[in-house]
């Protein structure tokens, strides 16, 4: 298991859905548990604002859900970054999917009751949680759209398939955040729950920090929230649920 860096030298970077929040039937039906924003606000103060959400969601969605409890956000898998609560959203020069792809994706969603097309500034996702039988169909159709096109990627997540531009991933989001104050000079600790988070974990480890998957270390998002609450109360790392002893690195 990764060793946690000293808390006063840490930047804490956390995924949203499946990590801070429980997965919901639809993207708009997620619930922010009572006390979560209070916990995040305390952590923000302890870390000198070196706290960020790194997610596939748009930044505007994170703001709607968490308010000003999290000062920095890397949204759309690193395709949009805002470094301060009142700062501008910065976007790398990446392609948006063709309108024809969006029309086809909408037709696919319409063909399966309960399916949902989620449009993003630089990509889109087809959700099939309410109709699991659509998953293989969506995969086959989207893979066909992207066949031979290296400018975009097709990725699986929680009961969805997502099309995003190549070059937009959570590792990029972590790397960009860590270039500026208050993150610069700290060691990133990244917590996420699925394959799209592994880029963020990899970059965090490469920068001397740590990366943890929810299922392996915390069990559930509730386990993440309990651990973060204990961290906010203690002002230092509590024992990781997936370990027998607290694996804190030396200063």
Residues assigned a catalytic role: 15
What single-letter DSSP state applies at residue 8?
Answer: G
237 neighbors 47 (Cβ within 8 angstroms): no
Residues 46 and 61: their CA atoms lie apart, in Å, by 25
Cβ atoms 165, 151 nearer than 8 A: yes
SS3 letters across 150-195:
CCEEEEEECCEEEEEECCCCHHHHHHHHCCCCCCCCCEEEEEECCH
Torsion of CA 222, 236, 53, 129, to 10 degrees: -20
Q: Match 């700062």 to its residue by tokens.
A: 87
Contacts of 242 (CB under 8 A, 6+ apart): 1, 212, 216, 217, 218, 219
């Amino acid at each position: 298991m990764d060793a946690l860096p000293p808390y006063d030298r840490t930047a804490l970077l956390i995924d949203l859905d499946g990590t801070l929040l429980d997965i919901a039937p639809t993207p708009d039906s997620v619930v922010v548990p009572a006390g979560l924003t209070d916990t995040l606000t305390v952590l923000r103060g302890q870390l000198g604002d070196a706290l960020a959400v790194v997610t596939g969601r748009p930044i505007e969605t994170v703001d709607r859900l968490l308010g000003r409890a999290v000062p920095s956000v890397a949204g759309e898998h690193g395709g949009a970054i805002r470094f301060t609560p009142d700062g501008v959203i910065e976007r790398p020069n990446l392609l948006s999917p063709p309108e024809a792809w969006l029309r086809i994706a909408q037709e696919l969603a319409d063909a399966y009751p309960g399916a949902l097309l989620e449009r993003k500034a630089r990509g889109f996702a087809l959700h099939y949680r309410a109709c699991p039988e659509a998953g293989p169909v969506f995969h086959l159709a989207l893979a066909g759209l992207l066949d031979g096109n290296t400018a975009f990627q097709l990725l699986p997540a929680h009961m969805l398939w997502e099309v995003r531009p190549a070059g937009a991933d959570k590792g990029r989001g972590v790397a960009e955040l860590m270039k500026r104050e208050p993150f610069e000079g700290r060691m990133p600790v990244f917590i996420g729950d699925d394959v799209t988070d592994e880029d963020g974990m990899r970059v965090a480890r490469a920068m001397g920090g740590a990366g943890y998957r929810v299922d392996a270390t915390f069990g559930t998002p509730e386990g993440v929230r309990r651990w973060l609450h204990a961290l906010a109360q203690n002002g230092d790392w509590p024992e990781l649920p997936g370990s027998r002893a607290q694996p804190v690195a030396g200063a």
